[in-house]
Structures are given as C-alpha cells and as structure tokens.
Amino acid sequence: MGWHAMIWQFKNRWQATKVGVCPFCSAQSQGDSLLYTEVGSNASWRPTIFTDLAAWAEAVLPQDDLCPLLGLPGFAIDTLKMCSMHNVNLGIAQICNGSSLVTLVLGGFYGNPNDSIAVNFRRAYRHFQAWRKSKRVNITQGVWKYAMYQVIEVIKANGLVCMTHKAFNGRVLAHYFADVLAEALTSAEFPSDSTLRFAAACMAHLAKFFYLLEVSGRYLTEARAEEIYQTGLAFMRCHLQLTSMAMQSLRHLPSGQALFLWTLRPKLHYLEHQLIDLRRTRLNLRHHHCYTDEDGMRWLKQISRKVKRKGFEHAVLRISRLRLSLAPLKARSLNESARKRNK
C-alpha cells in the first residue's frame, strides 16, 4: 500500500488525521456507519466498493496531478493489487504472532511468568527450535532477542506488542503458535479462558489461510476460493473479538507496564478486499505478492557490498544472466521440495 499511496497520491489512506482509510471503498475510521472494522457480507462499506474507473479517479485521486498510468490501454481498478506478503505476513501476522507469544509468556506456558521477559523469551525460543526441528523447517532469523520484537524494545515504549519477523518466518511462526496455543488449550497446567480459546482459534485460522494459499495453484477452483475466503473471514472475526477483549482488560508485564495485545490495524480491512477479489477472480494471492521483488533487493545489496561502485552495473548484469540461466533448475528443485513438504 505504501508504494500505491506514493504513486497514486490517494486522498483516502490510513493516517491518524484522516477519516477515510481505504482507497478502494468509502470505509471510515470514525462515525456510526461505514466503519472499516465491520467484517463480512453485511458490512456497510461493501456497497461502496469502487467498480467504475472514472468515479474512482474522481473520488480518490488528486484531480490536479493525475497519475499517467491511468492512460494505459485496458487499465482498470482491478489492475491494482495489494501485496499479501506486506499486508499479512509483515503486518497482521506480526501483531498476531507477537500477541500469541506474550499471551503464552504471561500465562506461564514457558515457565514462571514472574521471571524477566528476556528469560521467558529464551525459553520460548528453545521451545520453538525443538518444534521447528521436529517439523524440519528452516528459518532465516536467529535467537529471539528484544531487538526482534517490539515488546519493551519490542514492546514499544507505548506498550504495542508486535513481532518484527521477516515474511517467510511469520508464516512459520503462525503455524508454531497455532500448534502451541492448541496444546495450551488442552493443558491442565495452563489457565484456560475465553481469550485463550479465541487466540487458539485465531491462529488456527491464520495458519490454515497460509497453508491453503501455499498448496493451491495460480488459478483456484470455486470450492477452494470459497474455502480460502471463509477461512480468512473467520480469522478476521476472531482477531476483532480478541482486540475488543484486550482493550476491555489490559494485560501488564511484571514490571507493571501496560501491554496492547491484538492491536487492530487497517491492514485487516485491506485483507478483506483481497479476499473479495480472490473469491471473485479465483486468482491465488501468492502469485502477485512481492517475495521475488524483495529477494531481488536482497541480492542487489549483497552485490553492492562486494564490488566497487564503478563495476556495479556490470556485476548486476553478469549475475542476472547467471540467475536466469539457473532459474529452470531452481524451479524444479523448489517444486520437488514443495511436493515433499505437502505430502
């Protein structure tokens, strides 16, 4: 959304000083109706979703500085796609994974909740490593430290709980917390309450959502598209309920600091737009996310550290040619790994 907002200069996008939060409908952050927190087919903002390009451009774009992309042949609102990696993995999942971790720590799942948060994080990380090895899953980040979470430093100064993981790791952690919360729910030693039940359901739906996207092809059957759509909505409803419960009963660290768990972000509203689009077009969200682009940025940075400025362009061209020549081999390898993983 950040890139779209910069290119198109949307009038309606998420800012604390604005009422309109969405460039694709008339959802608002305040008022008695059209609230972006409404979920499902009965949400009052759904009839306001833009379908006419001219009406959308007039309502959403600055008329004195229209983006030239509007003049492209065949351009339509459907051309604009939001990235599920940035929206879910690096947005919603960071809130949910961080809140799951803190919920388990404060409940004593990893040991005495009165111990320091650092000690409990180390215990949680060792538990996660054992789970990861049992599932034969690799991740690209190391030991969990304060710098990895926005709790304290991770838990931000204002108490916001948000786990700052990378995109792929977020998907792995969602599966981990889904398993652990389900285990905690059946444990006699862990205090079970409505928050834990909703948290377990929320993470189970999120993990299933990730799984369905990964095992499905580019084009979805009507049944699979409906399953993903309903799973996504079920996750959103659980998230909204947890947000409400967290605000009604704030949790605190042993130090006394208040924590804001299951914080609601407008990205949850954008996810519903993605689900509506997936159900209508039957196009898998993972086929227009930005994993490949982010990977390109990674290896460009690696090249820039190893070559002199003068030879940078030639180095990029050489490595790009090598990557293209190896792409078929890599695709076969990834497909074989996916087949084994999904058996």
Tokens of 203: 């993470």
| Claim to verify: residue 11 and residue 88 sit in the same structural domain | no
The Cα–Cα gap between 101 and 298 comes to 28
Residue 13's pLDDT is 64
Please tell me the total count of domains within the chain: 3
Q: Are residues 74 and 105 in the same domain?
A: no
- Helix (H/G/I), strand (E/B), else coil: 291: helix
Domain boundary among 80, 112, 133: 80
Q: Do 196 and 105 share a structural domain?
A: yes
Same domain, 185 and 121: yes
Q: Residue for token digits 């040619």? A: 321
Other CB atoms closer than 10 Å to residue 241's CB: what's the count? 17
Asked if residue 104 and residue 64 are part of one domain, the reply reads no
DSSP at 283: B
Residue 251: its H or E element: strand 251-252
Q: What is the per-residue pLDDT for 148?
A: 42
Question: Rounded to 5 degrees, what are φ and ψ at 216?
Answer: -95, 150
DSSP string, 146-194: GGGBBBTTBB-TT-BB-B---HHHHHHHHHHHHHHHHHHHH-TTSPP-H
Question: Does residue 107 sit in the same domain as residue 243?
Answer: yes
Tell me the average pLDDT across 148-175. 73
pLDDT at 153: 43
Torsion of CA 118, 124, 126, 129, to 10 degrees: -130
Tokens 């500085």 identify what position?
65
pLDDT for 343 = 60
The pLDDT of residue 40: 93
* Statement to judge: residues 58 and 127 lie in one domain: no
Higher pLDDT among residues 211 and 54, named by residue: 211
Q: Which helix (H) or strand (E) holds 259?
A: strand 258-259
Of the candidates 165, 226, 227, 238, the one whose C-alpha atom is nearest the C-alpha of residue 200 is 238
Question: Does 184 lie in the same domain as 164?
Answer: yes
CB 97 within 8 A of CB 177: yes
The mean pLDDT of 174-197, rounded to a whole number, is: 87
Rounded Cα distance between 288 and 322, Å, is 24
Same domain, 70 and 92: no
> What pLDDT sits at residue 338?
66
Residues in the chain: 343
- Of the three residues 245, 261, 288, the one that is the final residue of a domain is 288
Residue 289's SS3 state is coil
State pLDDT tens for residues 269-279.
999 999 999 99
Range of the domain at 28: 1-80
Classify 20 as helix, strand or coil: strand
Nearest-Å Rg of the Cα atoms of the chain is 22
Domain boundary residue, one of 46, 80, 114: 80
What pLDDT is attached to residue 147?
A: 40
State the average pLDDT for the chain.
84
Shared domain check, 154 and 100: yes
Residue 151: band (very low, low, confident or very high) from pLDDT cuts 50, 70, 90:
very low
Sign, CA dihedral 278-262-162-13, equals: positive
- How would residue 15 be classed by pLDDT, with cut points 50, 70 and 90? low
Whole-number pLDDT of residue 4: 74
pLDDT of 92-147, one tens digit each?
999 999 999 999 988 889 988 888 888 888 899 889 999 999 998 888 766 555 44
On whether both 70 and 94 belong to a single domain, the answer is: no
> Phi, psi at residue 87, to the nearest 5°?
-75, -45
75 and 161, same domain (yes or no) = no
* Average pLDDT over every residue of 314-322: 76
3-class secondary-structure state, position 17:
coil
Quote the CA–CA distance of 220 and 195 in Å, as a whole number: 34
